[in-house]
Structure 1
Amino acid sequence: MSRNLTASLALLTAISIPALGLFGCDRSSTQSEPKPQTEAASQAPAEQEAKPDFSIDYQQFQLDNGLNVLFHIDRSDPVVAVSLTAHVGSAREKEGRTGFAHLFEHLLFLESENLGKGGLDAMSARIGGSGANGSTSRDVTNYYQTVPKDALEKMLWAEADKLGWFINTVTDPVLAKEKQVVKNEKRQSVDNRPYGHSQYVIDRNLYPEGHPYSWQVIGSLEDLDNATLDDVKTFFRRWYVPNNVTLVVAGDFDPEEAKALVKKYFGEIPAGEAIERAPKQPITLKETKRLYYEDNFARQPQLSMAWPTVPRYSEDSYPLSVLTEYLSSGKRAPLYRVLVEDEQLTAYVSMGAYESELAGQVQLEVQAFTGGHLDAVFAGVQKGFALFEKEGIAEEDLERIKAGQEVAFYNSLSSVLGKGFQLAQYQIYANDPGYVTEDIERLLAVTAEDVQRVYDKYIKGKPYVATSFVPRGEKALALSGSTAAQVVEEKIVDGAEAQFDASASAAYEKTPSSFDRAKEPAYGDPAETSVPDVWQGKLENGIEVFGIENSEVPVVTFSLVIDGGMLQESIDKTGVANLTAMLMERGTKNRTPEELETAIQKLGASISVSAGQDAFRFSVTTLARNFDQVFALLQEMLLEPRWDEKELVLAKKSVTSQIKRAEAEPNAIAGKAFARLLHGKDSIRGHSGLGTEASVAAITMDDLKAYYKNTLSPSVASAHVVGDIPQAEFMAAAAQLAKQWPAKPVKIPEPESKPAKPGIYFVDVPGSKQSVLRIGRLAMPAVSEDYYPAVFTNYILGGGGFASRLMQQLREGKGYTYGIGSSVSGGKTEGRFSIGSGVRANVTAESVQLIHDILKEYAPTYTEADLENSRSYLVRANTRAFETAGAKLGLLENMSEYGWPADYVREREATAKAMTIPRVQKIAETYMQPDSMIWLVVGDRASQFERLEKLGVGEVTLVEDQQPSQADEPAAEALGED
């Protein structure tokens, strides 16, 4: 699990790419012993053209206390990423004392002897860092941040305090508060969402009792409650020691200076007890186990199946990653062909590897349509497997899958933080930071025989764990022969949580040091923001083109954005734009859906089509060497859609399934209801881009063709390209498209929003363990003079992550939430100010009152220090504003959408430097007053509605009729949460 919720959920997702960053996939090290950690440097070549020879330059040395240090120099941006990886995850825990590694991931951000309470977050808020964050897996715990290069010494100072000057600051009140935060994380990511307990049931039954992977990374609520201060301190002193930690510094820095700083800040931390590598603990499942669970939040039954396999970086992990992707993903996948196309039992099939240091597993997941029996799904799975046994994997499929994994591998290395993570991962799991070369070689060397072999060895006829998660009251839909799964459900009781005062100062004897560590280091030589060189052009049909040439990795990213999107729909037939986008991905005039998908994937590319609220978009990523061929396929998709009737039937089933799935998911409900309250039922912005069950059922192919004909035109389109391709080469390829795609006039409607009156609105989701809050109002568009001043104003309120007032008071002060944040967002014609959070159900009223008070008091209590912190962060953060391909593409799209210059960041810096307290107060008084806002609460009416009425904050209105919203599928989280 992670301090950042998005990263945490990724750790539980089955991934099939063998060498993504630390957060992408879990694969384990080989059986060899660690290498001696002597100072060394790799011989990685500068060029990256020969794919099997791809390398990451690094330097390596070890301090006397055992701290392992890795440096990677990358001067493409004036930033540096610092990551500290402790080789301790939930696998080092014991039954009855689970969740400690994840708890420490949280605790280590709170205080240290020399930074003080909240010192790291406060420092990050000043220095322009990406936000100090962390994650925990079964095997490791990470702490990381990317900062302007002149803040490197500050980061090393702060990270050293984690290991040597931290544990004395942990007191009983601090521990009590952080237990509440972790519990809120579990409620939000597990207890309060569909299928949230699925991984718990699988792991508990796949691994034998006592195996370190049989419990969850986040631990159990009971174990957290029972953890004492002595337990926690003992765990820390055993595992969080230099000889169990890898420090990686990656980016633009002087290695000799950095080495001296590492020795200065980390060198005097004493080594801990010797730590042996844990032995591999692969498992063999003796018999099949079938279990079911009635899920309060599920509206469709889900079958999951798991088989034991191999640890990370094992020989068989590479063909297993190819196998799982081939079986489940895409038109040629046997499971897709049977379950989705032939028998139409589901719109969703997923299969992947969840491999860790000590053992591994493969998992299959299928969500049936509403009312579907999982026996039929299981039978379809068996048919899919039989199809694979009959056909095997064709060489064409093998090559397209490997090409896609190669691109994903390179994309994971597009930032200095990504490269740093990869070096640490290779060091910890493969005992070799330079394993990157072997990693990609082993991926590309997988043969069809390898794929068949691992299927026979790990899946064919082998025992498995199968879980059936069915809607409450529908256990008859579960797989036959299933027994009830044991899941511990927390009961929410008002006043049940312990009271604490986390603000109290701890009394302790300070840990000695050879120099004064209480003084924060000064900045190094100034880090200057580097704005990319942008080229611009125009095609014959009028399309404006914006580009940035960048050769860090051999990849090209491209987007074609056509204004309109949902705005071109009618309210009585919503969902047309979305279905049009889906059909344009599914075949062309001369290629079947399967042929098109195969052609794209063979080139190591992806081409996706999507419809948003304001635009219709084509997004492309490809290996640079294949750009011309991929662009030709994009052109074919754009100009010659297939309009396949069978695919429309499948697409409509898929969308209807998404709508049903979202009906009981609190975040999805909140997003939909908030949009309707903000914009009104007569504005298309208040409706779902997915449509409703009724509107989707009524949509015909003629509706899609009409949308395509009337709205997609070069006259409202712009193109953006970032990557390893010169301007001339791109314009030559695009010229062919311009000749065949003539412009025509298109008018973009701009619906009028009619928001509901300010007040509290409540949506009932019985049994919710959390209440989801969405608070806000309409505000200025992105082109308004007030827009960036409002972004500046919001920074201290809720835009500054852990240093913001909302986070400090609701999470750090009260333990009410796992995360809360506020944001200012805008389009061409309107924008919004909004706050989002999920809070413990039994403090719903208290949370609403506290947020109300924070908003009311914000303008009068804004200080000179707040002004300076906001100015420092927002100016200094620009050094890392354009590091990744995605960030560069965002720059280009902002230029085309809003007419901003390439260096608009300079204008924002000037605005930030000119901001004053009166200007901030004026913005806050205009756009951030609580009485001007809509307050939406999605939670358990029986226990919370009356308490909200007694607050006196405003009238409470029960919202009855709800349909799910496009932008808030079950994975959508509260704004700004970390």
Structure 2
Amino acid sequence: MHSRKTLLSLVCIFSLMGCQPDNKQAIVTQQQALPDGIHLVNVHKAEAGKVSIPYRKYKLDNGLTLVLHQDKSDPMVHVDVTYHVGSAREEVGKSGFAHFYEHMMFQGSEHVGDDEHMRIVTEAGGSMNGTTNKDRTNYYETVPSNQLEKMLWLESDRMGFLLNAVTQEKFEIQRATVKNERGQSIDNQPYGLMEERSAEALYPVGHPYSWQTIGYVEDLDRVTVNDLKAFFKRWYGPNNAVLTIGGDIDVSQTLQWVKKYFGSIPRGPEVDMPAKQPVKLDETRYVTLEDRVHLPLLRMTFPTVYARHEDEAPLDVLADILGGGKTSLFYKNLVKQGVAVNAWAGHPCDELACEFELSVLANPAKVSQLSDLQKIVEQTLTEFEERGVQPDDLKRTKTSIESGLIFALQSVRGKVSTLAANETFTHEPDRAQYDIDRYNKVTAQDVMRVYQKYIKNQHAVVLSIVPKGMAKLAAHEATFEMKSRDLPADLQTVKTDVKAPVIHDDFDRSIEPQAGPAKLPPVPDFWQQKLDNGMVVAGFDSDEVPIISFNIVLEGGPLLESSEDAGLAAMTADLMNEATASYSNEEMSNQLALIGSSISFSAAGRNTIISVSSLTKHLDKTLTLLQEKLFHPAFLQQDFDRIMQQKIQSIEHAKSSADALASRAVSEVLLGNKNRVALPDEGTLESLSHLTLDKVKGFYQRYYNPTKGMLIAVGAIDQKSLLQKLDFIKNWQGEDYDIPAIGDMPPMQKPVIYLVDKPGAAQSVLRVFKHGLTYDGTGEYFRANMMNFALGSMFNSRINMNLREEHGYSYGAWSRFSGGKYLGRFSAGSSVKIDNTGDALKEMLGEINLYQSEGMTEQELAMTKSAYTQNDALRFETPGQKVGFIYKLLSYGLDKNISEQQLNIIKTIGRDELNAVAAKELQTSQMQIVVVGDKQKVLPQLQQFDRPVEMLDVTM
């Protein structure tokens, strides 16, 4: 059975029929039917031959902008509230406020209890989050469409009724959480300080972009809860917000709800569009950052223009030519020559200013000084100037813009996010065709002009990131040092209480709206056929977007290697991504880029996977290139040598990552260090030393065959048409093979705390784990995941709320069951403040022990059942989701009606049954513990536990 969903919006998008904008008289007519206080601004429909996202735009009397996009293809909606405030609206000395409020907005409002926002969304079967950047903050939820009214109630309550719920206690908890986030993502992360150091050198003191969105810790320590409230009152009014709703909506009903929940919120202070503030340097500034890294990094940053400036598009094209993947000059001169592990160029643009970035991650085996890399970069710029802009350079970029837009429109979230951002910054929600047009207009002369104006002989910030104690590797002696921050003499904190606005409603906001009748999505009814060569081909015909996505999965992958040759499957896949008999690597990449397609090979877990995506109109060309890559790899020695060096340096780099060390330690403790499944898919330094090009060729000849393969395709093509195009797959032959049995596991020893020393670490990484259940669709594994939902699988879980919200030890904590065909494990973990390592571990173990002994509550059971039931509406939206669902069914031999079977379990299962699973699976006396942290600070904290502490050196 084929799926042919009626989707007017995307029919308009891709010009399968002509749609014309409504005239002014039609708008006047529609205005008469609107609720009081809501005004129709524009009805936007697509025109034939153009790419666009249809929408209706409204304005409320209080200044709130409302954008609606109707998409009936799936029973789900995406709600986005974007406030035109980011870190650029902050004051000097009061950095990090916008990001801080991203946290506070989830802590409850006047009519929504503490942490209830996340519980409600989770229970509704949805997902939610918030993001902050330099120029805007957004909050969003994706939920089943019957939950829309509830989401509008939640968002309106924190827009209009947040201030009275912001307490000193919440302020202190979230201040600690933000510090933990900074520690985890910046201070304890290799290269984590790169953006901060670069911005400090590029922008003058006081420029809105001279500090990072997360802010400085000393600023967060300085301010009070009233400073935060004053910031909210200044910037978070409805007149500085855009509410965008897309999906399965009834437009008339949605307008009534928006009027009800948002209409009474008073407008805030007036907000003007900020003035553009591009910068210009009067000298090249050399900066050196010593960090806990293995690979030195060089970054050159040139100031340019601002977003939507006429020179933005040609600068983007220039960045693509210089460092945009395998077709670029950086790839040819730096990566392919082996002097760099990676090299790239980019032109990130923000509302007030843009930056042109040239970045090179050095290969220390080939280059000893970053000054040598800088010379190659400068020589590459000279080469570009002499070479000029070639026709394919422009065509690649233009094609990537068009295909990128189309792929982004696969999901309702993608469309809503695009509409929201465009309205916030340009007051025109749909700029899709505008973007395509402005890139299509870029000429070779434009690109050379912006190169001459912004890059050639221009001053830049040259940042060298080098290992601790090795400043001599820098590209140049530092000429710029960030001085201590001079704060304004008149900087003051807010001393008086900030009052919330008085809002009058004709309904009781404390009553949570009820959800409407649930609409469960149809499960993809795919077709399947087994070919004579053993390969199973399956597909789902969906014309929602004009693209085809498919995976070829060859079972075995890393499991087919010996421990001595660990990494062979991954190395083979990497070389399949390189040159072929008829195309160099660069030529193949260019051919794919010119049609907006991608083909990639990878090997992980128990599979080798070939992933393909293509616009429907270019499928034949894409399949021709796939045949070339699949059947005619060149397997060149120089490619092998280069990739080997990259892998070695990547492993060396991983030694500086606490998370990577923790992952390796867990595998060694659970699985041993000799068993193949214990070793990384990419191999170890020892196993890589055994690999040769001949072994790669042998692996390809033996195991790249269809006998244990699957091809799963989703897109705008029917079964007959697809099979006609797959003759080369039908004719593919090979000899069947066996997958080796998994070797013996080491017996679990007495409970131990294994400590991996990471001197100087700002945080500790905790892992608590044991062998667990293998995957099943309706058995104990499924029940174990249900049981664990309240313990550690959602934001409001016991473990996360304890470590993050109650104690402020962590940015996030979790627990999970992960299972495959033959192996499974239970694990819990977090990154925590180094000084609270022991306290955090004690709390984590305490939560697991309590849950094991007493189980979940009736309230937790009800929330779990609701979340699991409602979440089906979000499971099958995109082609990628459908491919994954079909693969799981075929791989594990599950029935097509597995969703119905699981739903029956969810409805009928009782608390006693799930608690019995907890009692059996959560015994911490059977669990081992790994801690990665600074031994000097951590060891005394761990010695309080009734377990021996053993030092562990992990194999990398």
TM-score normalised by the chain length of structure 2:
0.92
Alignment pair present for 1:844 and 2:840? no
Change (3 A) 1:683 1:229: same
Change (3 A) 1:463 1:235: same
Which of 346, 349, 353 pairs up with 1:355? 349
In 1, the alpha carbon distance for the partners of 2:870 and 2:483 equals 47
Structure 1 residue 281: Cα displacement = 0.9
Structure 1 residue 846: Cα displacement = 0.5
Change (3 A) 1:381 1:439: same
Asked if structure 1 preserves the Cα contact closer than 8 Å seen for 2:773 and 2:781, the reply is: yes
Alignment pair present for 1:82 and 2:76? no
Match of 1:465 in 2: 461
Alignment pair present for 1:878 and 2:872? yes
Structure 1 residue 317: Cα displacement = 1.6
Structure 1 residue 798: Cα displacement = 0.7
Give CA-to-partner distance per residue, 1:764-806, whole Å, 9 cap, x none. 1011111011221121111372111011111101112x21111
Match of 1:616 in 2: 608
Question: How large is the Cα RMSD of the aligned pairs?
Answer: 2.0
Asked if structure 2 preserves the Cα contact closer than 8 Å seen for 1:554 and 1:724, the reply is: yes
Which of 521, 541, 546 pairs up with 1:549? 541
Asked if structure 1 preserves the Cα contact closer than 8 Å seen for 2:38 and 2:60, the reply is: no
In 2, the alpha carbon distance for the partners of 1:556 and 1:963 equals 41
In 2, the alpha carbon distance for the partners of 1:291 and 1:508 equals 45
TM-score normalised by the chain length of structure 1:
0.90
**SS of the counterpart of 1:571?**
coil
Asked if structure 2 preserves the Cα contact closer than 8 Å seen for 1:91 and 1:213, the reply is: yes
Asked if structure 1 preserves the Cα contact closer than 8 Å seen for 2:325 and 2:344, the reply is: no
Alignment pair present for 1:369 and 2:363? yes
- Unmatched 5+ stretches in structure 1: 1-35, 490-505, 965-978
Structure 1 residue 694: Cα displacement = 3.5
Structure 1: which amino acid aligns with 2:454?
Answer: Y
Alignment of 1:225-240 (within 5 A): 225-240=221-236
In 2, the alpha carbon distance for the partners of 1:950 and 1:66 equals 58
Which of 155, 158, 171 pairs up with 2:167? 171
Match of 2:333 in 1: 338
Match of 1:44 in 2: 45
Structure 1 residue 888: Cα displacement = 1.1
Match of 2:493 in 1: none
Alignment pair present for 1:570 and 2:562? yes
**SS of the counterpart of 1:669?**
helix
Structure 1 or 2, whichever has the larger Rg, is 2
Match of 1:289 in 2: 285
**SS of the counterpart of 2:327?**
coil
Alignment pair present for 1:265 and 2:261? yes
In 2, the alpha carbon distance for the partners of 1:509 and 1:70 equals 25
Deviates more, 1:86-95 or 1:816-825: 816-825
Alignment of 1:547-946 (within 5 A): 547-754=539-746, 756-757=748-749, 758-783=751-776, 785-800=779-794, 802-859=795-852, 860-946=854-940
Deviates more, 1:551-560 or 1:742-751: 742-751
Structure 1 residue 323: Cα displacement = 1.6
In 2, the alpha carbon distance for the partners of 1:755 and 1:591 equals 50
Alignment of 1:123-162 (within 5 A): 123-130=120-127, 132-162=128-158
Structure 1 residue 58: Cα displacement = 0.3
Match of 1:12 in 2: none
Give CA-to-partner distance per residue, 1:270-313, whole Å, 9 cap, x none. 11111111111111111110010110x20111111111112222
Structure 1 residue 904: Cα displacement = 1.7
Structure 1 residue 741: Cα displacement = 3.1
Structure 1 residue 450: Cα displacement = 2.2
Structure 1 residue 486: Cα displacement = 4.0
Change (3 A) 1:198 1:843: same
Deviates more, 1:907-916 or 1:562-571: 907-916
In 2, the alpha carbon distance for the partners of 1:573 and 1:730 equals 38
Match of 2:6 in 1: none
Change (3 A) 1:740 1:476: same
Match of 1:974 in 2: none
**SS of the counterpart of 1:740?**
coil
Asked if structure 2 preserves the Cα contact closer than 8 Å seen for 1:781 and 1:787, the reply is: yes
Q: Percent identity?
A: 35
**SS of the counterpart of 1:868?**
helix
Asked if structure 2 preserves the Cα contact closer than 8 Å seen for 1:677 and 1:755, the reply is: no
Asked if structure 1 preserves the Cα contact closer than 8 Å seen for 2:39 and 2:60, the reply is: no
Alignment pair present for 1:445 and 2:441? yes
In 2, the alpha carbon distance for the partners of 1:808 and 1:941 equals 27
In 1, the alpha carbon distance for the partners of 2:78 and 2:327 equals 40
Structure 1 residue 902: Cα displacement = 3.0
Structure 1 residue 512: Cα displacement = 4.9
Alignment of 1:304-343 (within 5 A): 304-342=299-337
In 1, the alpha carbon distance for the partners of 2:856 and 2:345 equals 51
Structure 2: which amino acid aligns with 1:39?
Answer: L
Structure 1 residue 96: Cα displacement = 0.3
- Unmatched 5+ stretches in structure 2: 1-36, 486-497
In 2, the alpha carbon distance for the partners of 1:238 and 1:418 equals 29
Match of 2:5 in 1: none
Structure 1: which amino acid aligns with 2:884?
Answer: G
Structure 1 residue 540: Cα displacement = 2.9
Structure 1 residue 511: Cα displacement = 5.9
In 2, the alpha carbon distance for the partners of 1:849 and 1:794 equals 19
Match of 2:30 in 1: none
Structure 2: which amino acid aligns with 1:74?
Answer: D
Change (3 A) 1:46 1:760: farther
Structure 1 residue 398: Cα displacement = 2.3
Give CA-to-partner distance per residue, 1:658-686, whole Å, 9 cap, x none. 11111111111111111111211121121
Structure 1 residue 622: Cα displacement = 1.3
Structure 1: which amino acid aligns with 2:369?
Answer: H
Alignment pair present for 1:57 and 2:47? no
**SS of the counterpart of 1:803?**
coil
**SS of the counterpart of 2:273?**
coil
Change (3 A) 1:444 1:825: farther
In 1, the alpha carbon distance for the partners of 2:918 and 2:596 equals 48
**SS of the counterpart of 1:386?**
helix
In 1, the alpha carbon distance for the partners of 2:325 and 2:331 equals 7
Which of 404, 411, 422 pairs up with 2:400? 404
Asked if structure 2 preserves the Cα contact closer than 8 Å seen for 1:710 and 1:746, the reply is: no
Structure 2: which amino acid aligns with 1:81?
Answer: H
